[in-house]
Amino acid sequence: MTRFEAELTREFMALRRGRGLHRPNVHTVIGPAIARWADVPPDCSNADVRRLVNAAVAQIPDMDLPEEERRVVLVALALDRELRSATLSTRTELLGTEFRWSERTTRRRIDDAFAKLAQVIVKRVDPSDPERGWAVRRLRVLVRLDREAPEVIEERTIVATRDDLSQIVARFSVPRRPDSADLDREVHADVQHGARIVAEDRQGANHFRYLLELPRPLARNESHTYSIVFQVRDGQPISDHYVFNPLVSCAMFEARVRFDAGRRPLVVWRTDRASPRTLPHHGVPDGPLLTLDRAAEVVARFDGLEQGFSYGICWRSA
């Protein structure tokens, strides 16, 4: 057993006691091993801790964690909403009744399920993976549509969820408009401060991935701010929206769009927790309308974002 596996096993044993993940101070109980696996930042709320751990379990394939063991883990951690007030002994009794196990067998099955979970996590977590090991504390974005080439300026404050974090990944996509050809998009990225681009990779016609080297390795719970600019330089139309699809935990996202004062949109609205399948929106508002100010700008703020959903600003052009 590796040290990481032993730490995970010990932390899971402590976490499932009492009311499990529904204890009032769960954000103070999460250990460094579980935080590293589920990318739980230090300033997470109790609800966010539950959501991140639940999401991390859900990402494990069924072949690695079969249905029965997954059920045992979720009940033992009290991730089922109906069990938020149940003690560990009550949850253990529930599992015994559900699977027709004796009390002794049920306790053994719980221990076995978490031992299996720890083994699976160790195999799946790459300590050097730049996609993991960090969360976004704050993301502020300015979309410039008042220039010859559309420009997106992102300022991110990240927080490390493991030690020795030296590289992270930035992604950018340019969805094509329904009325435009499916051409390869041309995007130029440049870091303004706080990092350097050491590698970039085109993934398909309109998706881009950038590997960023941080100025120095970050320790767990240490934060860092950097800024990066993306320019769409191919002269082709862009979709009438800017949305953020969080791939890691994100506490706060603020989007500001600056339109050309001579080409104001007909309508602008906020899209919140939308399914990516609903985009493009075809000009039909699906959220609260936003009013342009005298600088031809709109702004929207989002807190406690959930992975798998889209957040941002949409508009219908004249």
Confidence at residue 28, expressed as pLDDT on a 0 to 100 scale: 83
Number of domains within the chain: 2
Same domain as 202, residue 141: yes
Structural domain contains residue 305: yes
Residue ranges in the chain whose pLDDT is less than 50: none
| Domain enclosing residue 149, as ranges | 134-316
Confidence at residue 181, expressed as pLDDT on a 0 to 100 scale: 60
Confidence at residue 307, expressed as pLDDT on a 0 to 100 scale: 86
Cα-based distances in Å from 241 to 256, 269, 304: 12, 9, 21
Q: pTM for the whole thing?
A: 0.84
Q: Where are the alpha helices (DSSP H) in the chain?
A: 3-15, 26-29, 32-38, 46-58, 67-76, 88-99, 103-124
Same domain as 170, residue 80: no
Structural domain contains residue 83: yes
Name the domain boundary from 93, 124, 155: 124
Q: Which amino acid is at 195?
A: A
Same domain as 120, residue 139: no
Same domain as 179, residue 283: yes
Give the Cα separation of 249 and 232 in Å (integer).
27
Same domain as 110, residue 169: no
Same domain as 84, residue 29: yes
Same domain as 114, residue 43: yes
Structural domain contains residue 129: no
Same domain as 110, residue 146: no
Confidence at residue 228, expressed as pLDDT on a 0 to 100 scale: 98
Give the Cα separation of 307 and 55 in Å (integer).
8
Same domain as 26, residue 138: no
Same domain as 163, residue 80: no
Confidence at residue 126, expressed as pLDDT on a 0 to 100 scale: 85
Name the domain boundary from 124, 156, 178: 124
Structural domain contains residue 70: yes
Residues 61-83 pLDDT 10s: 999 999 999 999 999 999 877 78
Same domain as 138, residue 119: no
Q: Are 15 and 35 in contact (CB under 8 A)?
A: no
Residues 34-45 pLDDT 10s: 999 999 998 888
Name the domain boundary from 102, 124, 146: 124
Same domain as 65, residue 174: no
Q: What is the CATH number of the domain that holds 239?
A: 2.60.40
